[in-house]
Amino acid sequence: MENQDVKILKKKPIFPVTPALQKYLRTYQRESKLPISYSDLMQFNEAFPLMDKFGKDSLWEGPIYAQDLIEELHNGLKEIYANLKASGNLRIVEHKYIDKIEYCTFGNTHPFRIRIVNRLNDVYDYFYIKKADASRIYGLELEEILSPNQVNYLVDGDTLVEEHIAGIPGDVFTKGQLYSPEFNPTRIAKEFVKFNERCLIMLLGDMRAYNFVVQITPDFDDIQFRIRAIDFDQQFYEGNLKVYLPQFFKENLPYVKMSMEQLTEKTVLQYQQEERSSIVHRVRSERHRLTDLRDVSNQEALTTPENIALLKQAMSDYFKEPNYLMCKTMTDIIELNIKNIIRQVRL
C-alpha cells in the first residue's frame, strides 16, 4: 500500500433533497414527520466553546437558548429519539431527559449532537441532527446496502437525524491502542484493506482516521475488529480517485504501515476478494432497493461535469477498463464497479 497526503481543495456544496429522493425515502421508511427541525435548533442566542478531556478545543460548542424555548426543544428531541429508535413509541422516553445539546461548526452539515439520559440508571445515548444533504443520504443508503453495517436515520425536509455510531475514533485508536499487545495486528490490517476496498467501490471519499471508528468485539478465542465510516459528506463528489482510497491520507499512515508489516501482496488480494464477494452477496439480496436508488440518483446533479470526467478517466486507468469512459454520472461509475466485481466473483 502506498501513502501520501490528499488534499480536498474546495468545500462540497450541500445538495437539496429532491421530490424523487423524498419518494424513495418514503418507500424505504426513511422519511418521518419530525416535531422540530434543524432550523429550530439554530435559534440559539450565543454559544460557548467545549473543551475535550485534555483541555483542547473539541470544535463543538454549547448553544444557549432562550428559557421559553428549552422545554419545547427538549420535548421535541425526545419525540425524535422515539421515532428513530422505536418507530415513534413514546414509552421508551418516559424516563429519559435531554442532558446536552452541542453544536459543531466543523464539517459540511454543521451537526447538533444530542445526549439523552435515562434518569433511572444514568445510561445515556447520543443522536445527531444535521442539515439534510442529498449526497450524504446517498452515502448512508449505499452503506446500508453494500457494507456489512446497518445505519439508522430519518429525514424530514431539510432535516436529517442520524443514530450515533459507536466506536473508537480512528485517530484516537492509533495513538493509544493500535499496537496493543492484546490485539492481533493482522486482524486490524485485514479490516483496513477491506475498508479501503469498500470505499473505492462505493465511492465514499475523505475517509481520514477521524472520519471512521474502530469497533472492537471480543470473541471466544480472539478479538474481532471492524472499521466503520461515520462521515458520508464526501459521497461521489470529488474527481480525484485517491480521495476514495483511505490508504492515501496521511492521517491513515499508521494503518498503512501496519498493513505493510503484517500482510503480503497475496493476502491483500485475498482480503480484497473476500470483500468483493460479500458485496456481491448483498447486491443480490438488495437488488431492487439498489436499482431504485440508482434510478433516483442518476437523475440528480450531485457533482460537476469536470469531476465526473476526471474520475472516469482515473478509474479507467486504475482498473485498465475502458468502459469507465462511457459513464455519464457518478452513479454510472458505481454501477460499473459493481458489475465488474460480479464478473470477477463468477470467474
pLDDT category of residue 54 using cuts at 50, 70 and 90: confident
The pLDDT of residue 7? 67
Instruction: Find where cell 424516563 sits.
Output: 95
* DSSP secondary structure letter of residue 277: H
Average pLDDT in the chain: 93
Q: Which grid cell is 151?
A: 445505519
| Among candidate residues 251, 3, 258, 16, the one with its CA nearest the CA of residue 135 | 16
The pLDDT of residue 220? 80
The pLDDT of residue 104? 92
pLDDT category of residue 346 using cuts at 50, 70 and 90: low
pLDDT category of residue 109 using cuts at 50, 70 and 90: confident
The pLDDT of residue 57? 79
The pLDDT of residue 14? 92
pLDDT higher than threshold 70 for residue 167: yes
> First and final CA of the chain: distance in angstroms?
25
Per-residue model confidence as pLDDT tens digits over 218-255: 988 889 999 999 999 999 999 999 999 999 999 999 99
Burial 107-118 (b: 16+ CB within 10 A, else e): ebbebbbbebbe
Contact 303, 237 (CB under 8 A): yes
Mean pLDDT throughout 157-165?
Answer: 96
Quote the crossing angle between the two packed helices 185-202 and 253-262, to the nearest 10°: 120
CA-to-CA distance for 137 and 134, rounded, in angstroms? 5
CA-to-CA distance for 317 and 85, rounded, in angstroms? 44
Pinpoint the alpha helices (H) of the chain: 19-27, 38-41, 67-86, 134-146, 170-176, 185-202, 253-262, 265-285, 287-297, 305-319, 330-346
Mean pLDDT throughout 313-318?
Answer: 97
pLDDT higher than threshold 70 for residue 8: no
CA-to-CA distance for 193 and 173, rounded, in angstroms? 17
pLDDT higher than threshold 90 for residue 337: yes
What residues does 125 pair with on adjacent strands?
A: 116
CA-to-CA distance for 31 and 158, rounded, in angstroms? 11
The pLDDT of residue 6? 74
pTM: 0.93
The pLDDT of residue 347? 56
The pLDDT of residue 277? 95
Read off φ and ψ for residue 129, nearest 5 degrees.
-125, 125
- Widest CA span in the chain: 65
Mean pLDDT throughout 280-304?
Answer: 95
Q: Which grid cell is 230?
A: 461515520
pLDDT category of residue 9 using cuts at 50, 70 and 90: low
pLDDT higher than threshold 70 for residue 10: no
pLDDT higher than threshold 80 for residue 133: yes
Of residues 107 and 236, more confidence is placed in 236
What residues does 275 pair with on adjacent strands?
A: none
* Cβ partners under 8 Å of residue 87, min gap 6: none
Q: Which grid cell is 190?
A: 485485514
Mean pLDDT throughout 154-162?
Answer: 96
| Among candidate residues 276, 149, 131, 125, the one with its CA nearest the CA of residue 212 | 149
CA-to-CA distance for 327 and 292, rounded, in angstroms? 18
pLDDT higher than threshold 80 for residue 1: no
Contact 239, 333 (CB under 8 A): no
CB atoms within 10 A of CB 123: 10
CA-to-CA distance for 153 and 167, rounded, in angstroms? 18
